[in-house]
Chain A
Amino acid sequence: MKLNIHIPEPTKLIPDIRTGEGLLQWLSTVDHKLIGIMYLCTALLFFVLGFGEALMMRIQLMRPLNNFLSPEAYNQLFTTHGTNMIFLVLTPMLLGFATYSLPLMIGANEMAFPRLNAFSYWIFLLGGLILYASFFAGGMPNVGWFSYAPLSERFFSSTKGVDYWVISLLLMGIGSVGAALNFVVTTLTMRTKGILMNQLPLFVWMVFVNSFLILAAFPVLNAALFMIFIDRQFDAHFFVSATGGSPVMWQHLFWGFGHPEVYILALPAFGMVSEVIPVFSRKPIFGYEFIAASSVAIMLLSFGVWAHHMFAVGLGTTFNAFFAASSMLIAVPTGIKIFNWIATMWGGSVQLKTAMLFALALVVNFTIGGLSGVGFSLVPVDWRLTDTYFVVAHIHYVLIGGSLTGGFAAAYYWFPKITGRMLSEKIGKWHFWLYFIGFNCTFFVFHFLGLLGMPRRVYTYPDLPYLGTLNLFSTISACVFGISFILFFWNIFYSLRHGRIAGNNPWNAWTLEWLTSSPPQQKNFEKVPLVRSRRPLWDMLHPEDPDWKRENKNKIKKTGYE
């Protein structure tokens, strides 16, 4: 058997996966663009699985005391749905866009560590496949994506599901840490001549800040995962109270990772809309420094808010008050971003392209999710809302209304760059409105369900007033929501063949990725001009009114560039 296969450099910009050579080129690539595309395609693939799981749960909950799913099946589904959507859809979606765009946006030809980049992707994919392999090994994990001990201990959960879950998350965590390290080093060392740290495009800035979040949060999770694994496999008792362990410690460790994780999923999406909104308002971002600094504030504060997931644990008034205060504080930098995005539109010349519509949907829906989040920081209110459907509404407003909606804005914005063709605006508008209406109708009623007393993670519920009606409404809306995704897939499929040729800079945007061809050559840039401001392409097109004159006046002095 030949161990050495020579794989020629791809001649096509996007190798054809149907030919043997093309397949090998995909498998062996270290090109950040191809790896970015693989991340995005993997996210789409797992999204179909995760959405299917969600639909099955919605069918089960469509009426009280329904028998569509057994409790065991339902519990496996909601666990897998949560893990799938967070680790296998949103994370690769955000990493994918970052892997693709970040080097382009700073005028670099590659990531700092191309092989590590490929390793991060493949180990992430392995983790994802191992999660689903549990299905063939006696059942998927059934203790929730948060896997609270002691329920996740072997005594209460004797199937192999939790072990597969642990290994899967460990591998994906290693992948994420690798990717984060890569982003940090790339941003610090690979910027083209002239870009200062306060001139980074905001998407790059947020991915950079976010990478520090990943580097600090994932090791906490990985440590906790090892501990539960040792408990389960070697009969240790980190989280077993009868023998001196502490189940509450698991909660501290898990949320010590889990809450930063929410911002890990949100910050890159904030970065995406911070690119999209200025371009389609034809104005620079309003308050660049404040948006950038508020991201750092969010990063730091997010490590001090984890226990707002634990207000019902009974940890005492002083303890709760501290975490109430920190959780309220973190709303302020988030609010600053919302106001700045709106101020960017005001006084601009707003083009309501599909990408812009999604960005605006993020502004509105994330505000709803953010506000309900403030509700949880009011401890007495949290005692009513926590672990009810109100929280289910909140998390979906944050993760779909925030991250996924930002992802769609990015998809419509960068698809022309990635493929060389435009996504259809007509299908896009249909996609957007069905998505926006379907999403809000599905999830807004969850607020009411929570207030009416419906706990979360229940496979069924008694026939109490309004519960059946609201759940049925949500299930029907979920189908509308589902149709919007079919339109998105159709749009991709259609536009790859018949979409308008994009050209280098279809949106008349200002960051460096739009300088090169669409899709970019294997070597991203032949030559990058000296960058002197946050919007290099604006400066090129408007030599009479360049940004660098408008921006920091001291800069010219400091750097000596003129």
Chain B
Amino acid sequence: MGRILNSIHRFFSEMSRSSSPNEDYINKLFLWFLILAAIIMIIVIVAVLIGAIHYRSSRHQGEPEQITGIKWLEITWTIIPLLILLIFFYFTVRFMKDIDQPVDKNQQADIIITARQWWWEMQYSKYNFTTANELHIPVHQKLLMRVESADVIHDWWVPELGRKIDAIPGTSNYSWLEASDTGEYKGACSEYCGTQHAGMRILVISETKNEFDQWVQDQQKVPSPPVDSVAQRGMRLFSERTCAGCHSISGTVAVSHIGPDLTHLASRKTLISGVLTNTPKNLYLWLQNPQKLKEGSHMPNFILSNNELEALVKYLEELK
């Protein structure tokens, strides 16, 4: 019995995870709403059952009394829901304002997130570097996100870290981001955006101030050129086989921003927007046939030989 209760508890706490003040507001309002909904639901089900069982025809004879309505009852069940909704409306507006605090026009965003089919570009404008798909944030710090889109409408959503915010082409949306615990938070694009909508996942890593500062320093560094001869060949291939036509790696000739920035690819936990864990083997399989691992992705199959694949993987996995 205890074990069953325990697993029920685990199940429900899994659904109400929160690691941010914003999500706390949402959870609180949702809980109140859930209690209200459960009460109404129980009333309706019980009332229907009473109607079906207590008033069933086998217990009565002849036609029942023909009542056409009771006015005060109608007015009661019009007014009471109105009053309850009024209370909920008050908290809706209050919490909405708490979550969406006004943004000063001159304020610079800490992070600029540009959604693309089907990955996320993240610019740390204050630190002057760009990364992709994996957001690092310092714990307990309230950051301003600017969310944009380079193609169709997407939606930023990390359940434990608060509200969804749409990424709309031609528009800049602002939203606050704050984590109250260190850890990894998984999210996903929540607006249907085409073939690989499902393959557009998010990873947010919240860490202590020191860890975050260290990470920023690492990201700002220009990676040193490879010494290993295989990796050197990979670096050459990167520009020859047109990888550089879409991707950029700082300190090299690759400066294009059509695909994700790969400057510190090896430091990331996942590949292709959270679809695979970042291992040399997965990277190899991805480069071998991108359309097999993420059908519809805008990365073409370059039909690389095994040697070329090995060289490229070696090079990219050294970009720490």
Contact = CB atoms under 8 A, between A and B. Distances in A.
The DSSP consensus for interface residues of chain B is mixed
A352 B164 contact: no
A73 to B, nearest CB: 10
Nearest to B65: A347
B65 A312 contact: no
B110 interface: no
A371 interface: yes
A311 to B, nearest CB: 9
Contacts of A465: 14
B92 A377 contact: yes
Contacts of A550: 66, 68
Interface residues of B, number: 87
B253 interface: no
A316 B45 CA distance: 38
Interface in B44-84: 44-45, 47-48, 50-52, 55-57, 60, 62-70, 73-74, 77-78, 81-82
B155 A156 contact: no
A324 B56 contact: no
Interface residues of A, number: 93
A347 B81 contact: no
A493 to B, nearest CB: 29
B217 to A, nearest CB: 31
A466 interface: yes
B41 interface: yes
Nearest to A378: B92
B192 A144 contact: yes
B215 interface: no
Nearest to B157: A455
Contacts of A456: 192
Interface in A367-388: 367-368, 371-372, 374-375, 377-381, 383-384, 386-388
Interface in A299-349: 312-314, 317, 320-321, 324-325, 328-329, 331-332, 335-336, 338-340, 342-343, 345-349
Interface string B107-129: 00000000001000000000000
Nearest to A461: B198
A71 B67 contact: no
Given A320-B96, A363-B48, A314 B85 contact: no
A459 B198 contact: yes
Interface stretch (A259-267, A276-284, A423-431): A276-284
Interface in B165-198: 165-166, 168-171, 173-175, 186-198
B30 to A, nearest CB: 5
B78 A551 contact: no
A297 B152 CA distance: 37
A545 interface: yes
A71 B195 contact: yes
B295 A457 contact: no
A283 B85 contact: no
B201 A324 contact: no
A246 B171 CA distance: 9
Nearest to B47: A342
A100 B294 CA distance: 50
A70 to B, nearest CB: 6
Given A347-B65, A375-B30, A386-B190, A457 B78 contact: no
Nearest to B174: A314
Nearest to A329: B85
Nearest to B159: A453
Interface string B82-104: 10010011011101110110000
B15 interface: yes
A328 to B, nearest CB: 4
A346 B23 CA distance: 43
Contacts of A377: 92
Given A321-B96, A332-B78, A455-B189, A371 B41 contact: yes
B69 A288 contact: yes
Contact of B55 (A248, A335, A345, A455): A345
Contacts of B201: 462
Interface string A342-367: 11011111111000000010011001
A242 B55 contact: no
B93 A387 contact: no
Contacts of B100: 317
B153 to A, nearest CB: 6
A181 B118 CA distance: 45
Given A150-B152, A317-B97, A342 B165 contact: no
A489 interface: no
A75 interface: yes
A287 B74 contact: yes
A9 interface: no
A453 B65 CA distance: 52
B16 interface: yes
A452 B14 contact: yes
A460 interface: yes
A247 B170 contact: yes
A43 B142 CA distance: 53
B302 interface: no
B26 interface: yes
A71 B194 CA distance: 9
B153 A247 contact: yes
B155 to A, nearest CB: 6
A241 interface: yes
Interface string A32-60: 00000000000000000000000000000
Contacts of A72: 195, 295-296
Given A287-B74, A371-B41, A380 B163 contact: yes
Given A332-B81, A350-B51, A350-B56, A150 B151 contact: yes
Interface string A158-183: 00000000000000000000000000
Given A371-B40, A380-B95, A346 B296 contact: no
Contacts of A367: 40-41, 44
A113 interface: no
B89 A325 contact: yes
Interface in A457-487: 457-462, 464-466
B33 A378 contact: yes
Contacts of A235: none
Given A312-B163, A346-B50, A462-B201, A151 B56 contact: no
A135 interface: no
A282 B63 contact: yes
Contacts of B15: 448, 451-452
B25 A545 contact: no
A119 interface: no
Nearest to A334: B81
Given A242-B169, A380-B99, A324 B190 contact: no
Nearest to A470: B11
B37 A328 contact: no
Nearest to A343: B73
14 contacts: A156-B194, A282-B57, A314-B168, A320-B96, A331-B85, A347-B64, A350-B55, A350-B56, A375-B37, A378-B30, A384-B159, A455-B190, A459-B197, A466-B14
Given A321-B93, A377-B92, 4 more contacts: A314-B175, A380-B25, A383-B99, A458-B198
7 nearest interchain CB pairs?
A: A241-B170, A345-B51, A458-B198, A383-B163, A451-B15, A314-B173, A287-B69
Interface of A: 70-72, 75, 142-144, 148, 150-151, 156-157, 241-242, 246-248, 281-290, 312-314, 317, 320-321, 324-325, 328-329, 331-332, 335-336, 338-340, 342-343, 345-352, 360, 363-364, 367-368, 371-372, 374-375, 377-381, 383-384, 386-388, 448, 451-453, 455-462, 464-466, 542, 545, 547, 550-551
